[in-house]
RNA sequence: GCCGAGAUAGUCUAGCCCGGUACGGCGCGAGCCUGGAAAGCUCGUGGGAUCUUCCCUCGGGAGUUCGAAUCUCCCUCUCGGCGCCA
């Protein structure tokens, strides 16, 4: 969330930001009115409390009629405080609710635009694969090789779930290991957090409340299935104050992710959009001054994986209208899938500035005697597995229906060069 | 699932029975002292505000009271013990 002071002192900046993000400005006006009323009442209650505090001490030294009179007088003061508190509690709920629903302020380098059509192409790397035969769709390849079993996945879980099998399962594991090993070399510490997360964690990174309908909810235990490893990893440091020397902290994790995909397109066949998918995630906790430079590093960490896999890809800088709620700047990295000549988002690398840190209360102390400040958080996929799998199957397919294993993965596949 | 013990500031802790400005140690910082340092001494070290001052803060919430860290109730988490168990 944003610093309430910025909203109070620069409401027009926030209004413009909401417009740039293609969002309703109602939330801002609601905040401003609830906030000013809340502040006025806070002020009044502070004065009343001061009186009560002083008189309470006096009462303790009195007795008899004098004491009785004061007690009666104070009963009234306390009653007023209590009534104000009740009103303030309501106002505070509105205030908090608004704060949790105001998105992060985009960085000045972010293009203003209404939706994904106005994202900016940063670069395209690697030539699109040319075929001397008609390339097959990834699901055709996978079914023919018996490495993905769609029907049996549906049988045990439901529509939108699938089962990897044989070399498919092994290829998945090879990719996970390759990603994690590469991130270890890039300086990340591997973690393996819980797959189930609570509301506090989801609020900390910004998925709750605005994405709550897209998550699987375990009602009986008030817990959610992890929507992205960003949530458990970032919140590992919830409510902590770090020493300056501890920064930066780099974590990576492999973790299954779950999405209900309520507005799911009917035409997404195969494994491009599924309810459960594996992902390797990178999260960085950094000094505020460095975060925009770090974003470039993070993006490079993701790109390095794709380059090593030899896949054609492109990098987009998202415009204000397409950026997600919590980030101030975001790059999407998309892999080319030749069967339909489409680009598949395999990584999203974002700077959240202090937006998540403020929600999750993650701070650092610049110097031992100075006040603590919020750190900056960043994260990026490195990478999402199913879409990487699609890109590999389609780009590395051969005329005879087999698939060549990318060289960097062979050592994770027992030296295997061909699946088929 | 049952029973018990806990949760106090960056950290360790006192206060709770018996309600009246949250005690102290460590760490860190500033100052005094010193040729310089150590030691010693003084002050500071959670959040907020309209900032010489004031308000809030003792795991969270509700209640009793003029007044709650302290009393009552509900909840969360941690640590033990028992039970169940891959």
Helix/strand/coil for A242: strand
Give pTM, 2 decimals. Answer: 0.92
The count of other CB atoms within 10 Å of the CB of residue A284 is: 27
Spanning CA of A78 to C1' of B64, the rounded length in angstroms is 13
Handedness of CA A341, A351, A178, A207 (dihedral sign): negative
Distance CA A233, CA A1 (A): 18
Residue A110 lies in a domain: no
Mark whether A212 and A349 lie in a shared domain: yes
CATH number, domain of A29, equals 1.10.287.40
Instruction: Read off the pLDDT of residues A327-363 as tens digits, 9 standing for 90 and up.
Output: 999 999 999 999 999 999 999 999 999 999 988 888 8
User: Residue A310: pLDDT above 90?
Assistant: yes
Mark whether A43 and A94 lie in a shared domain: yes
Mark whether A31 and A87 lie in a shared domain: yes
Which chain B nucleotides are covered by protein, judged by CB under 7 A? 10, 20-21, 27-30, 44-50, 54-56, 62, 65-67
Distance CA A6, CA A41 (A): 21
Mark whether A97 and A122 lie in a shared domain: no
The total number of structural domains that make up chain A? 2
Instruction: Read off the pLDDT of residues A205-258 as tens digits, 9 standing for 90 and up.
Output: 989 888 888 999 888 888 899 999 999 999 998 888 887 888 899 999 999 999
Mark whether A28 and A94 lie in a shared domain: yes
Residue A123 lies in a domain: yes
> Interface pTM (ipTM) of the complex?
0.84
Distance CA A163, CA A151 (A): 8
Mark whether A46 and A190 lie in a shared domain: no
Residue A404 lies in a domain: yes
CATH number, domain of A369, equals 3.30.930.10
Mark whether A256 and A390 lie in a shared domain: yes
Task: Strand B: list protein residues with Cβ under 7 Å.
Answer: A 5, 39-40, 43, 45-47, 49-50, 52-57, 59-60, 71, 74-75, 77-78, 89, 241, 368-369, 371-372
Spanning CA of A216 to C1' of B77, the rounded length in angstroms is 24
Mark whether A95 and A120 lie in a shared domain: no
**Shortest-distance nucleotide from A222 CA to C1':** B76
Distance CA A88, CA A221 (A): 31
Residue A42 lies in a domain: yes
**Residue A21 sits in which domain range?**
4-101
> Per the structure block, which two tokens stand in for A315?
């990098």
User: Residue A63: pLDDT above 90?
Assistant: no
**Shortest-distance nucleotide from A365 CA to C1':** B10
Residue A109 lies in a domain: no
Mark whether A85 and A155 lie in a shared domain: no
């Amino acid at each position: 969330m944003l610093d309430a002071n910025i909203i109070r002192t620069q409401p027009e900046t926030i209004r413009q930001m909401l417009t740039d993000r293609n969002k309703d400005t109602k939330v801002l006006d609601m905040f401003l009115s609830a906030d000013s009323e809340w502040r006025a009442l806070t002020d009044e209650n502070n004065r009343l409390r001061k009186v009560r505090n002083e008189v309470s001490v006096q009462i303790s030294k009195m007795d008899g009629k004098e004491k009785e009179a004061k007690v009666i007088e104070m009963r009234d003061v306390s009653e007023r405080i209590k009534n104000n508190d009740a009103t303030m509690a309501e106002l505070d709920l509105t205030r908090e609710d608004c704060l949790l629903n105001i998105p992060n302020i985009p960085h000045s380098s972010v293009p203003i635009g209404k939706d994904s059509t106005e994202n900016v192409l940063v670069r395209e790397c690697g030539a699109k694969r040319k075929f001397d035969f008609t390339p097959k769709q990834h699901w055709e390849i996978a079914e023919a090789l018996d490495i993905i079993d769609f029907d049996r996945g549906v049988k045990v879980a439901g529509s939108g779930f699938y089962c990897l099998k044989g070399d498919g399962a092994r290829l998945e594991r090879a990719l996970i290991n390759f990603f994690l090993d590469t991130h270890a070399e890039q300086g990340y510490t591997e973690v393996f957090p819980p797959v189930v997360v609570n509301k506090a964690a989801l609020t900390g990174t910004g998925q709750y409340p605005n994405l709550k309908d897209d998550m699987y909810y375990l009602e009986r235990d008030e817990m959610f299935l992890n929507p992205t490893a960003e949530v458990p990893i970032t919140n590992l440091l919830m409510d902590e104050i770090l020493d300056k020397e501890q920064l930066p902290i780099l974590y990576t994790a492999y973790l299954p992710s779950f999405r209900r995909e309520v507005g799911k397109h009917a035409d997404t066949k195969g494994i491009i959009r599924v309810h459960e998918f594996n992902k390797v995630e990178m999260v960085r906790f950094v000094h505020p001054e460095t975060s925009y430079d770090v974003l470039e590093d993070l993006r490079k960490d993701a790109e390095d994986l794709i380059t090593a896999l030899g896949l054609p890809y492109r990098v987009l800088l998202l415009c204000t209208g397409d950026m997600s709620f919590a980030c101030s700047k975001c790059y999407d990295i998309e892999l080319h899938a030749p069967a339909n000549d489409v680009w598949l988002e395999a990584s999203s690398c974002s700077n959240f500035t202090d937006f998540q840190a403020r929600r999750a209360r993650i701070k650092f102390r610049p110097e031992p005697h100075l006040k603590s400040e919020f750190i900056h958080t960043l994260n990026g996929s490195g990478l999402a597995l199913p879409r990487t799998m699609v890109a590999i199957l389609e780009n590395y397919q051969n005329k005879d229906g087999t698939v060549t294993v990318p060289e960097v993965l062979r050592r994770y596949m027992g030296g295997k060069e061909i699946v088929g």
